[in-house]
A and B are shown apart, each in its own frame.
Chain A
Amino acid sequence: MEKFTKEMVDDYADKLLIGLTEEENKMVLDEFNIIDSDIAKVMEIDNIESVEPMTHTLDDFVYELREDVIEESVDIDDLLKNCDDYINDEVRVPKVVE
């Protein structure tokens, strides 16, 4: 198991498009060390690997397909209220293709 290092914390933060201060980097590692130690103890539980991971709370969800009914769309003016930069009905976004 590769150790979680200061450099790796910065790398992960960078991939998430988040900048971290030195102090924030240290906080990640401090909290992570506790988690790592707890998980190490979990792995000592007999047959833990045979337990099915639990992904949601209820095991009796009923999934139903509803009728395909056309509904009123959201008003474009309402949507644009939260946008800083638009022309007419179009949002201006930064260039993403070099």
Chain B
Amino acid sequence: MRSGRIWAWIVFALGAAYFLVPLLATFEFSLRIRREGYTFDAYANVFSDPLFQATFGYSLLIGLLTIVVGVLIVVPAAYFVRLRMPGLRPIIEFVTLLPLIVPAIVLVFGYIRLYNSSSWLPLTGSRLGTDLLLIFGYVALALPYMYRAIDTGLRTIDVKTLTEAATILGANQATILMRVIFPNIAVAVLSGAFLTLAIVMGEFTIASLLNRPAFGPYLQNVGANRAFEPSALAIVSFVFTWAAMGMIQLLARFAPKTAARTD
């Protein structure tokens, strides 16, 4: 079995090379903006660009609103399907798989045709409406991940017993959801939230076709016009993605370890 171990190390080393070299190369490239030697000037240029600040802030805000809307839609549905309407489960699960089948570009094409300024619901007619449409599009993109995270969270707690206990104590359904169920799955909800943020922050297709001043289209624009700043932006994006995923890992340590008695 010794040869098996050597083979494993070789595979690991080759994989590590493929994944680390582009990161190193990008970092090195981002430092090359001055002829005389390595500087962080490209980063300074990026961070001081008012458009960077504006688009990053806009995408962050849209991302947070996406999380809020997503949680408000998914948590009650996942809870009631698990507790009282198990027959709806296949339908809900099919719907949450749809965004994996229908690519984002097809989805936004449908939005533009269905909700344009001369339609029955002219969302793209106003700025606020287009922002809303962008948020809904992102909720749709994140739906598979959000639903799975929340459903996994619900599976690890004993939904039925908690609900019965709260009912005996006189709580109504809204109270149960907000003060009993939600705190118990907060960790799962948060990991879904960070994944959503990682997906939304650099998203290009939907934001670009809806003409919103988001971070993704800004990235594309810098890429088409600058030489070294794109590399700096790639490193910044990578660090941001790493931070979001790191938060999920960190949260996993706080997740309840006990399995539910019933499933």
Task: Answer yes or no: do A and B interact.
Answer: no
A: residues with CB less than 8 A from B are none
